[in-house]
Amino acid sequence: MKTRSSRLKMIAAPIPRQLLRRCMLQSSLTPFRSLSPFRSLSFFRSLSFFIWVLFPTLLLAQEESALLKYKFQPGQSLNYLVASQMVATTKVQNAEQDSTNQSSSIKELKIVSVDPQGLATIESSVKRILIKATLPGGGQLDYDSSQTDPVPLPFRMAAESIGKTTSRITLAPDGRIIKAVALQPDGTPVANPAGGPTPRHDVLPSFPASPVQRGSTWQETFQVEVPGADNQPRTVLLARKFQVTSISVTPNNQKLVQIGFVVEPAVPPSEPEIVSRLTPFLVTGELTFDASAGAVVAYQSELNREAVDALGPGTLLRMSGKTLEKLVPPQTPPELLKLEE
């Protein structure tokens, strides 16, 4: 009697070429109706061996793995179309008000340099943006950075940053941020009172050092600043947890890795005001990494959160929305997309 381990070894063993050739010749060259009973029995024995031995071997071969590393090149430019829509509902006692924001922009990640260790210096900027906002009172504001003049007051900060470098990041091939600084429109660094938080781009996650397979998990932490009840800044540590959902190879040999993620506070905050102001960061989603090219090609996130007493006792803040980012050619114009509900 063969043991379970010996049977598994037999399944994983390579198939002899002569036996495979015999199976193929018998199945493709011999008409089914011309087989004698003995030849037919021999054929079915070979065919069953093919099914029970070769087919599991092929399934094992489909269990792909991938090493997730960025492969940036000096002078490279990555352009992402970013489309989002957000609905915020505030409730005070029995009165509710909704405000919506729909936007589309083209973000550019410019690879300034890559050193011999693979550390890439990356500058981030927004080339153009479209915004459509519906205010709580029912009014509407539209903004197109390429033609709107004068700029509506709520969008002046965005208008001043168009075409300007908003952050400069030094990134390791595995996505670890070595150095980062946020920049004002005039190029001066943004003051950072807490000292720890670093600006980052959502489509540049960090990756594990070892190859991943379907089901592999890891996480990264990063800091954000939000105002507390006294409007003084609070530094909060967030954790983004990842899991590989699939690995596939396209006909043109792209190895695409689908990765799901969720963002949660590393330590739940105690102040209700902090909870409500963290809401825009607490998303779930999925990204697609092209392991062959070493770049994220698509990213999507979804937000659906409620915060009780966020604006004071008896209040409610509800936020829902979606964001989609995808790698596009440099001259792609932004467009307001109606993201699916």
Quote the pLDDT of residue 310: 64
Across residues 312-320, what is the average pLDDT? 79
Is residue 181 within 8 Å of 189, Cβ to Cβ? yes
| pTM beyond cutoff 0.85 | no
Q: How far apart are the first and last CA of the chain?
A: 58
Quote the pLDDT of residue 339: 62
Across residues 70-86, what is the average pLDDT? 95
Is residue 294 within 8 Å of 288, Cβ to Cβ? no
Euclidean distance between CA atoms 321 and 334, whole angstroms: 19
Quote the pLDDT of residue 63: 54
User: Is residue 19 left, alpha or beta, with left meaning phi > 0 and alpha meaning psi from -120 to 50?
Assistant: alpha
* Residue 22 per-residue DSSP state: H
| C-alpha to C-alpha distances, 324 to 113, 206, 267, 294, nearest whole angstrom | 28, 19, 28, 20
Provide the 10 A C-beta neighbour count for residue 309.
14
Q: What are 199's two structure tokens? A: 């600006």
- For residue 180, the Cα-to-chain-centroid distance in whole angstroms is 20
pLDDT for residue 6 is more than 70: no
User: Of residues 200 and 92, which shows the higher confidence score?
Assistant: 92
Quote the pLDDT of residue 80: 96
pLDDT for residue 52 is more than 60: no
Give the model confidence (pLDDT) of 104-151 as tens digits. 999 999 999 999 999 999 999 999 999 998 877 778 888 999 887 888
Quote the pLDDT of residue 48: 52
Provide the 10 A C-beta neighbour count for residue 168.
19
Across residues 223-235, what is the average pLDDT? 81
* 134-159 CB burial, b ≥16 within 10 A, e <16: eeeeeeeeebebeeeeeeeeebeebb
Across residues 34-52, what is the average pLDDT? 48
Confidence of residue 70 (pLDDT cuts 50, 70, 90): very high
Is residue 124 within 8 Å of 109, Cβ to Cβ? yes
pLDDT for residue 220 is more than 70: yes
Alpha helices, H only, 172-325: 272-278
* Residue 229 per-residue DSSP state: T
| Of 115-124, 176-185, 250-259, the least confident | 176-185
Is residue 17 within 8 Å of 62, Cβ to Cβ? no
Q: What are 277's two structure tokens? A: 């102001």
pLDDT for residue 17 is more than 50: no
User: Of residues 46 and 101, which shows the higher confidence score?
Assistant: 101
| C-alpha to C-alpha distances, 108 to 115, 127, 154, 185, nearest whole angstrom | 21, 7, 23, 16
User: Of residues 162 and 44, which shows the higher confidence score?
Assistant: 162
* 70-79 CB burial, b ≥16 within 10 A, e <16: bebeeeeebb
Quote the pLDDT of residue 116: 93
The string of DSSP letters for 28-82 reads: HHS-GGG--HHHHHHHHHHHHHIIIIIHHHHHHHT--EE-------TT-EEEEEE
Across residues 66-89, what is the average pLDDT? 94
pLDDT for residue 59 is more than 60: no
Q: What are 3's two structure tokens? A: 């043991």
Quote the pLDDT of residue 30: 39
Give the model confidence (pLDDT) of 193-211 as tens digits. 444 445 666 789 999 999 9
Confidence of residue 37 (pLDDT cuts 50, 70, 90): very low
- Mean pLDDT, the chain, whole residue set: 79
Quote the pLDDT of residue 9: 40
Euclidean distance between CA atoms 168 and 132, whole angstroms: 29
Quote the pLDDT of residue 306: 80
Residue 224: its H or E element: strand 217-227
pLDDT for residue 33 is more than 80: no
Give the model confidence (pLDDT) of 269-292 as tens digits. 887 778 778 888 899 999 999 999
Quote the pLDDT of residue 198: 57
Is residue 334 within 8 Å of 129, Cβ to Cβ? yes
Quote the pLDDT of residue 211: 97
Alpha helices, H only, 130-205: 156-161
